[in-house]
Amino acid sequence: MYRSLFPRDLFAEVDRLQRELQQSFDTVSPSIRGFARGYPALNVGSTPKSVEVYAFAPGIDPARIEINLERGVLTIEGERARTLPADDGKATAHINERFEGRFRRVLSLPDDIDPAAVNASYRDGVLHVSVQRRESAQPRRIEVQ
Amino acid sequence: MSNQSVTQTPEQASPSREEPALLPPVDVIEDATGITLYADLPGVPKDRLNVRVEGETLLIDADLVLTVPQDMQASHAEVQRTHYRRAFTLSRELDPDKVSAELSQGVLRLRIPKAEHAQPRRITVQVA
């Protein structure tokens, strides 16, 4: 009886609604979707052999980015220098949207990563951290004798 | 545009690409001699950046290029598009022919000087 109150595809409807809402947000202000979750924005992906983390952190001295991996938790920390002029009355900031100051982002990695095999590179303002998975955790084909 | 560091690639030259793009955050600072604009464009190499002035509009178009392993599966993505676009209307006292641009570590710095007649001048008072 309770069930009849719900149309059968309610969840599909909610899902569709949610997607439409998200899409309308996307077209109006993609910047909010893209950068509102903190600085730097992160993209994460994985391959059978590694976990790849991309941090969109433009305008930072690579030597001053601190990357720590402790108990499977990856922390990316640093500071972004101020580009706005000192408030001396000689210059006016009309738009001030870019991030400045200290940042810190934390993400937990899968259990099978190898903490000793981490590579980090910085190019065109994107920090790429590649963490290898442990050899033993990689899928293996087992031969039948 | 009088700067070599900004290169146009043919596929970006068409202004008709109207699919949703990332809106890069900017800082715009004005001083006595002109305007400095900083834009965050992470992942954009020099040859995929296109800055141009059309009439009174300053257009920034850029492609995000990310080298990812071929068999990678995305599990979390906060940046979901690969194109940046933003436009600004310039005011008349700015000199569109003298815009200079430099791109370094994903940050674009544009300098748009004010035209000669709009530069501040000190007027000497003649003593009679």
Which residues of B fall within a CB distance of 8 Å from A98? 25-27, 38, 40
CATH code of residue B104: 2.60.40.790
Whether A33 and chain B come into contact, CB under 8 Å, resolves to yes
pLDDT of residue B7: 38
Examine the domain organization and report whether A14 and A67 are in the same domain: no
Report yes or no on B17 lying in a domain: no
Q: In Å, how far is B95's CA from the nearest CA of chain A?
A: 18
Report the chain A residue with the minimal C-alpha distance to residue B27.
A96
**pLDDT of B14 over the 80 cut:** no
pLDDT of residue A78: 92
Report yes or no on B123 lying in a domain: no
pTM for the full predicted model: 0.73
Domain count, chain A: 2
Examine the domain organization and report whether A66 and A7 are in the same domain: no
Report yes or no on B22 lying in a domain: no
- Put simply, the chain B residues between 36 and 75 with a CB less than 8 A from any chain A CB are 38, 40-45, 65-66, 68-69, 71-75
Nearest residue to B40 via CA among A113, A55, A50: A55
Mean pLDDT along residues B61-74: 90
Whether A57 and chain B come into contact, CB under 8 Å, resolves to yes
Task: Read off the pLDDT of residues B82-120 as tens digits, 9 standing for 90 and up.
Answer: 899 999 998 888 888 889 999 999 999 999 998 877 777
Examine the domain organization and report whether A3 and A65 are in the same domain: no
Report yes or no on A110 lying in a domain: yes
Give ∠ CA B116-A82-A65 in degrees, rounded to 5: 135
Report yes or no on A13 lying in a domain: yes
Domain count, chain B: 1
pLDDT of residue A12: 66
Q: In Å, how far is B12's CA from the nearest CA of chain A?
A: 19
Report yes or no on B83 lying in a domain: yes
Whether A124 and chain B come into contact, CB under 8 Å, resolves to yes
Distances (CA, A) of A28 to A21, A140, B16, B20, B77: 11, 47, 18, 9, 19
β-strands B107-113, B49-54 pairing:
unpaired
Q: In Å, how far is B72's CA from the nearest CA of chain A?
A: 5
Contact A47 B80 (CB under 8 A): no
Examine the domain organization and report whether A45 and A29 are in the same domain: no
Report the chain A residue with the minimal C-alpha distance to residue B82.
A34
Do residues A60 and A78 make contact, with C-beta atoms less than 8 angstroms apart?
yes
Preceding amide of A40 cis, omega within 30: yes
CATH code of residue A121: 2.60.40.790
Examine the domain organization and report whether A80 and A109 are in the same domain: yes
Mean pLDDT along residues B30-43: 92
Mean pLDDT along residues B31-42: 92
Examine the domain organization and report whether A65 and A127 are in the same domain: yes
Report yes or no on A62 lying in a domain: yes
> How many other CB atoms are found less than 10 A from the CB of residue A69?
16
Report yes or no on A107 lying in a domain: yes
Task: State the residue range of the domain holding A18.
Answer: 1-36
Do residues B66 and A123 make contact, with C-beta atoms less than 8 angstroms apart?
no
Report yes or no on B105 lying in a domain: yes
Task: Nearest by CB to B78, from A27, A41, A83: name it.
Answer: A41
**pLDDT of B127 over the 80 cut:** yes
Examine the domain organization and report whether A74 and A131 are in the same domain: yes
Examine the domain organization and report whether A79 and A112 are in the same domain: yes
Examine the domain organization and report whether A76 and A26 are in the same domain: no
Do residues A55 and A78 make contact, with C-beta atoms less than 8 angstroms apart?
no
Examine the domain organization and report whether A61 and A104 are in the same domain: yes
B9 band by pLDDT with thresholds 50, 70 and 90:
very low
Task: State the residue range of the domain holding B4.
Answer: 1-12+31-68+78-116
Which residues of B fall within a CB distance of 8 Å from A83? 27, 29, 38
> How many other CB atoms are found less than 10 A from the CB of residue A84?
13
Per-residue confidence of chain A (145 residues) as pLDDT tens digits?
444 455 556 666 676 677 666 655 554 444 444 444 578 999 999 998 899 999 999 999 888 899 999 888 999 999 998 887 776 778 888 888 898 888 999 999 988 898 888 999 999 999 999 999 887 766 777 888 8
Distances (CA, A) of B105 to A125, B87, B109: 4, 21, 11
Contact B105 A97 (CB under 8 A): no
Contact partners, residue A58, CB within 8 Å, separation at least 6: A124, A125, A126, B40, B41, B42, B105, B106, B107
Contact A43 B43 (CB under 8 A): no
Examine the domain organization and report whether A31 and A43 are in the same domain: no
Examine the domain organization and report whether A21 and A72 are in the same domain: no
Strands in A73-80's sheet, in edge-to-edge order, are A66-70, A73-80, A101-108
